[in-house]
Homo-oligomer: A and B are copies of this chain.
Amino acid sequence: MKVALLAHEKFPENAKTAVGVLRYADYDVVAVLDRTNAGTRVADHLPDVQDAPVVASMDDVEGDVDALVVGVAPIGGGFEESWRPDVRAALERGADVYAGLHYFLGEDDEFAALAEEHGCELWDVRKPPEDLGVAEGVADSVDATVVTTVGTDCNVGKMTATRELYEAAQEQGMDAAFVATGQTGILIEGSGIPVDRVISDFTAGSVERMVLEAGADHDYVFVEGQGSIVHPAYSGVTAGITHGSMPDYQVLCHEVGRDSVHGYDQELPPVESFPERYETFAGPVSDSPVVAGMLNTRSIDDDAEAEAAVKEFADAIGVPADDPVRFGTEAVLDVIR
Please report A residues at the B interface, Cβ cutoff 8 Å. 76, 133-137, 195-205, 229-240, 243-244, 246, 261, 264-269, 277, 280-281, 283-285
Given A133-B76, A137-B264, A230-B285, CB of A196 within 8 Å of CB of B204: no
Contact of A197 among B133, B201, B230, B231 (CB under 8 A): B201
Which of chain B's residues have a CB closer than 8 A to the CB of A134? 233-234
Which of chain B's residues have a CB closer than 8 A to the CB of A204? 232-236
Contact of A240 among B133, B195, B236, B268 (CB under 8 A): B236
Which of chain B's residues have a CB closer than 8 A to the CB of A283? 269
B233 and A201: CB pair below 8 A?
yes
Q: List 21 A-B contacts (CB under 8 A).
A: A76-B133, A135-B233, A136-B264, A137-B232, A137-B261, A137-B265, A197-B199, A197-B200, A197-B201, A198-B199, A199-B199, A200-B202, A201-B233, A201-B234, A230-B284, A233-B244, A238-B239, A239-B239, A266-B284, A267-B284, A277-B280
Which of chain B's residues have a CB closer than 8 A to the CB of A280? 277, 280
Cα distance A202–B237 in the bound complex, in angstroms: 9
Task: Looking at the assembled complex, report how far the CB atom of A285 sits from the nearest CB atom of chain B, in whole angstroms.
Answer: 5
Q: A134-B233, A201-B237, A236-B243 are in contact. List 19 more A-B contacts (CB 8 A).
A: A134-B234, A135-B233, A136-B233, A137-B232, A137-B264, A198-B200, A199-B199, A199-B200, A201-B233, A203-B236, A204-B232, A229-B239, A230-B285, A232-B244, A233-B244, A235-B243, A236-B236, A269-B284, A281-B281
Contact of A281 among B76, B229, B237, B244 (CB under 8 A): B229
Given A200-B195, A200-B198, CB of A266 within 8 Å of CB of B238: no
Q: Give the copy number.
A: 2
Which of chain B's residues have a CB closer than 8 A to the CB of A239? 229, 235-236, 238-239
Which of chain B's residues have a CB closer than 8 A to the CB of A196? 199-201
B136 and A240: CB pair below 8 A?
no
Cα distance A136–B233 in the bound complex, in angstroms: 7
Cα distance A195–B200 in the bound complex, in angstroms: 7
Contact of A137 among B76, B197, B266, B281 (CB under 8 A): B266
Task: Looking at the assembled complex, report how far the CB atom of A243 sits from the nearest CB atom of chain B, in whole angstroms.
Answer: 5
Task: Looking at the assembled complex, report how far the CB atom of A207 sits from the nearest CB atom of chain B, in whole angstroms.
Answer: 10
Contact of A237 among B232, B236, B244 (CB under 8 A): B236
Cα distance A201–B232 in the bound complex, in angstroms: 11
Cα distance A136–B264 in the bound complex, in angstroms: 7
Across the interface, name the chain B residue whose C-beta is closest to A241: B236
Which of chain B's residues have a CB closer than 8 A to the CB of A234? 134, 201, 204
Contact of A285 among B199, B205, B266 (CB under 8 A): B266
Cα distance A266–B268 in the bound complex, in angstroms: 31
Across the interface, name the chain B residue whose C-beta is closest to A286: B232
Cα distance A203–B277 in the bound complex, in angstroms: 21
